Structure 1
Amino acid sequence: MLLTPLQSRLAASLAGLLVVLMLYILLFAPTAALALELAAPPLSDLTTPAEPLRLDAESHSFYEPDFALFDRGIVGRAPVDSTPLQNNIPIPLNLEPGASACYVVQKSVIFSGSGSSGSSSSKQELKRDDQGLDIRADDNNTPNDDQGSSPTRTLYLSANTCLQPHSTSSDTATPPQLRFFISTSSKDGCPDVTKPAAGVQSKAFVEGAVMYSLNATGDVYVTVSAPNVTKDFQGIYNFEIAASIDAYYYQYNSKDGQLLWMDSDAKSALLQTAALTSNTSQIESIMNAGPQYELYVQGSKAPILDGLTRSVCGMNNVAQIASKRLDNGQMNNNELVRTKMTDKGPGGWPRQQYYFEGLNSSSSYSGILVKVVNATTNSKRQNTGVIGGGGTVFPPTDFQTSAGTNCNLITDLDFCDDVQWAAPGNNKFNNTELGNLYDAYAKQMYANFQNVMMQIPCEAPSTQRYSLAVNCNNCTVAYKQWLCAVAIPRCEDFSKQNNYTIPRNVAQSFPNGTFLPDALRQELMKTPAFNTSRTTFIDEVIAPGPYKEILPCADLCYGVVQGCPAAIGFGCPEAGKLGFNVSYGLRDPNGGAVTCNYPGEPRTQVSASGAIKPSLVLLVTALGLGSGLLL
């Protein structure tokens, strides 16, 4: 049967509607959900009272995740028997001989950016990335998901022994040192000191200190082991340990020449640091900052610091002679030891000076310098959270006291402010009184020189002056250095045997009334220069008796000739002649001893590779005064 056009359109519309309805049912109809019926808990579990929480209960099991796809470094849980170390935070501990303690530096600490728990007194160098974020310039080892291999970062481990077992016998033996064991195996954890696993590194403390660095990729485990000791020792070990991603918290610097022995007499000694800067713009700030170093001293007859000479806390605990900072932030200046900042001496550079009194005569000592980080007059010794806050220890500097009593150490003079040596003395004057006498005499002699210089046209135009290379200021500086070295001679014990000193005043008696043996005295008196001192002032006012003089360096005399006008009539004896040999000395070309005296010349001779000996620095200064001779 044929459909009419109207019926055809109606049939097509119904068919389309049915198709749309079927699609709707297939796509959007709600689906059935399957559910498991959960069993309800027994009624008794809901009505039985819960056991109260015991705060003192001991836990016997610990949850420790163990995922096949993640190692312990990512999980971040340390073994229960290890103590975590934070960045630049020291931890102290007592340790019985034969015992050990384990620490862990977790991966989260090692890769903690720039080390938020540590700060530095120096300004951190920053660089800026494309997004404008500040990043530490040394943060090249920060983890990066794009890296093909595990990221690494340098970890600095260090420790100091603060106490060690003491000897019960009369000898001066020292106990054995502590030892480090380091492992990076998360599987093994804390190293077993009895049977170290493969890959475990070991390092013994040296003189109470140890430093160890490694490139870490995950947790790092450190075991500190105390050795067994014999019955000759009693007591425990105490140490401090610290980890850092910035630098060693406890540091030892093997560079010599940081502490200089200037001179000493029978009871006192003068030491000072090397110049703390060579930048003139830093002089004022360093002087205003106050003392930045501590100094610990021990005698060779009572070496109580042995085994601890690289440990700041160890020396601080046991040293009997020390210049150190107290808990109130002040230095322990007293009648036996005092320290201060000074810019007196060659070049006017800032230095820290130490003056010790009450020492034993004819004795040997060693001084150990310690650089304190961020030390101010209001800070304490401990610098928790500071980069390098444990301090830096330098090698010992040896010095000796003299046997005789007629060479006395003088320093801190008003006029001759470069004088830092022992001068001929007498026990009727203390060191301060003796220094004032010499200083007044030198100042009086300098006044005569000033009268002569008034005849020189120092203010004339440069074309009318006595030299185009030097001027009157150069002359006065050179003359003052020469005058102070000549008027205040450097004194040496008469008993010292060497070939660079000469006897003086051999005809006089010692301050105690005794004389030299007759045969020796008669032989020495044949040389006129040996019968008296360099000036009559010394023989008549000071009356030191026989002594030996370290002659002034010839550089001082040459400096005056080269820097001053010929009109003042100043001249130097010719080298090799008798007048020269009893008036001036020459430097040791090998730098092995103080063979002549020059302002600022220490008895400690610096011979480290690449370092300039202080005497050579002074020589360059002196020759600079006489550069006019080259024209």
Structure 2
Amino acid sequence: MQLSPLQSRLAASLAASLFLLALYLLLFSPNVALAAELPVDSYELGDAPHEIGIVLQGAASYEPEFDLFDRSIIGRAPPGVATLENNKPKALNLQPGTTACYMVEKSTIFGNDGSGNARKVEGKKDGSSTGGASSRFSDKVSKTLYLSANACLQPHFAGSNDTKSSPPQLILSISNSTEDGCQKPSNDPKDAGVTLFEEGAAMYSLNATGDIYVGITAPNVSSDFQGVYNFEVAASLTGYFHWYQKGDAAELLWMDSDSTSALLVTRNLTENEADIRRIMDQEPPYELFVSKKDSAATNGLKHSACGLQHTAQITANNLSNSQLNSPVRTGMTLRGPGSFPKQQFYFVSLNASSSYTGTLVKKSNVTAHEKREVGDFGLGSVVFEATEFQTVSATNCKVVTDLEFCNEIQYAVPGNDKKFNSTALAKAYDDYAKNMYANFETVMMQIPCEASRTSLYSLARNCDDCKAAYKKWLCTVSIPRCEDFASSNQFALTRNAGQAFPNGTQLPDDVRNPLVALPYSNASRNTFIDSEIQPGPYKEVLPCEDICYEVVQSCPAKIGFNCPRPHLMSFAYSYGQRDTNGSTVSCNYPGEARTPMSAARNLLPDLILLSGVSTAAAMMLG
């Protein structure tokens, strides 16, 4: 039967009404909504060590932004709780006795669909997780969440006594509920999720399966302290945004120092030749914060990047290079063994006979007020273990660096303030070594260096190896490493005892007379030093024996280069041997740092075959 036009319109209207009714029941039925609700999320704590501190009550009260809008629009965080996003730090002032609360939402951890690169939490039959935290479902997925914080400021001591005490450290608490994580952080040593800041830094990792709450508590302080705490906190899915790096091998190496200057360099930033140009074209990656060792300003903040920035006595970075009368210069350099990139810090205007600590910090690429670039990871700061260094009292040893010819020389050398500043002193030594090398090049012209490899003097070495080894030896013996005459280094040899100091004074007769009777103590290794530099009495760290042996191994016997035998008198005042414990510089090798376990030791030649090298006569550089 064919419908009339009116009947057709009525049938269409009825079908549309039934469709809308079915859609309403599907979307808004209470039973359907209850069936779709997710259970309360739980989390599994990671294996990070925890320290328990005393937690004082008193939660900070601050209103959320956009409180006029519905929670579905601004996020799931409850009132008074700020959200943390991936690799986006947040900073806040915090009064003593209060707590700030943050939330890392599940959508931040897993993405808006609640999924991502997650793994299942293995559950027991009774429903609990293997990590010890409660879990209602064995099919939960988890993701490692890295939480870190730095204290940037802390209350300062305003008492009357001369104490160097610091205020108590902040407390970091982690939970999957606001009640435990923010408002009432635990002080029970048996409870997990609580850690005390250590020297202004806290790091905590966990396997998260849902929303995570982060509390930062500022403990109460005595009336002797005034001011507020300031901190920066961040969450990351790739690693700690704030990182304190511990380790046996220092990242910052103390090369040498004199009475007012010090030279420090980082380890090689790469040893891949393909990366050298790229790294040298970039901005230096590190900042260095230096304070006197007895300074109390950095106490409680020594592991915090922003804390050091606010409290260190000297800051070395790109900005310090352009500041008038800056006490430090920094920049990238290829000088030193291997010619690999490293960052150098050269300090001037330091105090004599003083001890300092230098803390190297990898600069953060983002701050609490900047936005993270998409796909950019590893943006946070890294604080490395501090390096100690000292200045000396004597003024006739001077640090030189940036030599043109002897480009591996970076240490204190015999000097004379009355005749040379540091730049002129470096040039005088460099020119002397360069002139001496010209004589060697004349000798090498007699060697058929262009011959085929099978016709050369060695199948293992060539003329380029010989030239490099000879240059290293020549620079090291021409530019000796200097130590204060009063140095207690048992490996250092007294030199030039008979000459007056630059200020005109001489050693006491009872000290000078026995030394003058010894030829090697009455003069320097090179007459050039005594006649041109005139440093007065000093001590020399002798060149390492393997520098001489390298020349013997690398050069043709025809040039007549020989090394003295160990245990002979000529060897004792010409070369030194390495001390096995590495606690001091027992002999001088280019790039040898005063920091124990220096990177230079990793670049030394193989000494296995050197023990068999012996010669008939000693060679002295006149």
Residue from 203, 222, 231 that aligns with 2:195: 203
- TM-superposed CA distance for 1:521, in Å, is 0.7
Is 1:599 aligned to 2:590, yes or no? yes
Q: 1:423 is paired with a residue of what secondary structure? A: strand
2:305: which partner in 1?
312
Kept after mapping to 1: 8 A contact 2:107/2:113: no
1:154: which partner in 2?
144
Matched ranges for 1:119-198 at <5 A: 139-140=118-119, 149-168=139-158, 169-185=161-177, 190-193=182-185
What is the identity, as a one-letter code, of the residue corresponding to 1:99?
Answer: T
Is 1:489 aligned to 2:493, yes or no? no
What is the identity, as a one-letter code, of the residue corresponding to 1:222?
Answer: V
What is the identity, as a one-letter code, of the residue corresponding to 1:245?
Answer: L
Residue from 278, 282, 286 that aligns with 1:293: 286
Kept after mapping to 2: 8 A contact 1:556/1:598: yes
What is the identity, as a one-letter code, of the residue corresponding to 1:443?
Answer: K
1:512: which partner in 2?
503
What is the identity, as a one-letter code, of the residue corresponding to 2:413?
Answer: A
C-alpha separation in 2, matches of 1:228 and 1:182: 20
C-alpha separation in 2, matches of 1:330 and 1:595: 34
2:554: which partner in 1?
563
C-alpha separation in 1, matches of 2:259 and 2:587: 21
Q: Under a length normalisation based on structure 2, what TM-score does the superposition of the two structures give?
A: 0.79
What is the identity, as a one-letter code, of the residue corresponding to 2:313?
Answer: Q
Q: Deviations over 1:95-141 (max 9, x none)?
A: 111211111112222212799xxxxxxxxxxxxxxxxxxx98x5556
Kept after mapping to 2: 8 A contact 1:73/1:107: no
Distance change >3 Å, CA 559–CA 473, structure 1 → 2: same
Kept after mapping to 2: 8 A contact 1:191/1:200: no
C-alpha separation in 1, matches of 2:323 and 2:34: 58
1:401: which partner in 2?
391
Kept after mapping to 2: 8 A contact 1:346/1:618: no
1:97: which partner in 2?
96
Matched ranges for 1:341-420 at <5 A: 341-374=332-365, 384-385=371-372, 387-420=377-410
1:263: which partner in 2?
256
2:603: which partner in 1?
617
Structure 1 segments unaligned to the other structure (5+ residues)? 1-29, 31-65, 116-134, 608-612
- TM-superposed CA distance for 1:352, in Å, is 0.8
Kept after mapping to 1: 8 A contact 2:276/2:341: yes
Kept after mapping to 1: 8 A contact 2:245/2:384: yes
C-alpha separation in 2, matches of 1:418 and 1:325: 24
- TM-superposed CA distance for 1:410, in Å, is 0.1
What is the identity, as a one-letter code, of the residue corresponding to 1:162?
Answer: C
Kept after mapping to 2: 8 A contact 1:182/1:191: no
Q: Deviations over 1:470-503 (max 9, x none)?
A: 1111111000000000010000011111220010
Distance change >3 Å, CA 72–CA 461, structure 1 → 2: closer
Q: Deviations over 1:14-73 (max 9, x none)?
A: xxxxxxxxxxxxxxxx9xxxxxxxxxxxxxxxxxxxxxxxxxxxxxxxxxxx97954566
1:584: which partner in 2?
575
- TM-superposed CA distance for 1:381, in Å, is 9.8
2:78: which partner in 1?
79
Q: 1:262 is paired with a residue of what secondary structure? A: strand
Is 1:498 aligned to 2:524, yes or no? no
- TM-superposed CA distance for 1:199, in Å, is 5.3
Is 1:112 aligned to 2:111, yes or no? yes
2:295: which partner in 1?
302
Q: Which moved more, 1:437-446 or 1:150-159?
A: 150-159
Distance change >3 Å, CA 355–CA 623, structure 1 → 2: farther
What is the identity, as a one-letter code, of the residue corresponding to 2:91?
Answer: P
Q: Deviations over 1:193-250 (max 9, x none)?
A: 3777995521011111111011111211111111122222221110011112222111
Aligned residues: 530
Distance change >3 Å, CA 187–CA 173, structure 1 → 2: closer
Residue from 431, 435, 446 that aligns with 1:440: 431
Percent identical: 50
Q: Deviations over 1:571-590 (max 9, x none)?
A: 11110111100000001122
C-alpha separation in 2, matches of 1:179 and 1:274: 34
Is 1:222 aligned to 2:214, yes or no? yes
Matched ranges for 1:43-82 at <5 A: 69-71=37-39, 77-82=76-81
Distance change >3 Å, CA 170–CA 388, structure 1 → 2: farther
Q: 1:315 is paired with a residue of what secondary structure? A: helix
Q: 2:468 is paired with a residue of what secondary structure? A: helix
Kept after mapping to 1: 8 A contact 2:201/2:304: yes
C-alpha separation in 1, matches of 2:368 and 2:542: 43
2:129: which partner in 1?
none
C-alpha separation in 1, matches of 2:338 and 2:499: 39
C-alpha separation in 2, matches of 1:197 and 1:588: 46
Matched ranges for 1:317-328 at <5 A: 317-326=310-319
Q: Deviations over 1:357-398 (max 9, x none)?
A: 111110111111111255xxxx98976425342311110011
C-alpha separation in 2, matches of 1:380 and 1:83: 17
- TM-superposed CA distance for 1:171, in Å, is 2.7
What is the identity, as a one-letter code, of the residue corresponding to 1:106?
Answer: E
Report the structure number with the largest CA radius of gyration.
1
Q: 2:499 is paired with a residue of what secondary structure? A: coil
Structure 2 segments unaligned to the other structure (5+ residues)? 1-13, 15-32, 43-71, 122-136, 615-622
* Root-mean-square deviation (Å): 3.1
- TM-superposed CA distance for 1:543, in Å, is 0.3
- TM-superposed CA distance for 1:299, in Å, is 0.6
Kept after mapping to 2: 8 A contact 1:269/1:401: yes
Distance change >3 Å, CA 358–CA 100, structure 1 → 2: same
Q: Deviations over 1:549-569 (max 9, x none)?
A: 000000111111111111111
C-alpha separation in 2, matches of 1:114 and 1:440: 69
C-alpha separation in 1, matches of 2:501 and 2:150: 50
1:425: which partner in 2?
415
Distance change >3 Å, CA 598–CA 85, structure 1 → 2: same
Q: 1:619 is paired with a residue of what secondary structure? A: coil
Distance change >3 Å, CA 325–CA 203, structure 1 → 2: farther
C-alpha separation in 2, matches of 1:265 and 1:195: 50
C-alpha separation in 1, matches of 2:196 and 2:604: 42
Matched ranges for 1:519-538 at <5 A: 519-538=510-529
1:132: which partner in 2?
none
Distance change >3 Å, CA 325–CA 85, structure 1 → 2: farther
C-alpha separation in 1, matches of 2:368 and 2:234: 16
2:7: which partner in 1?
none
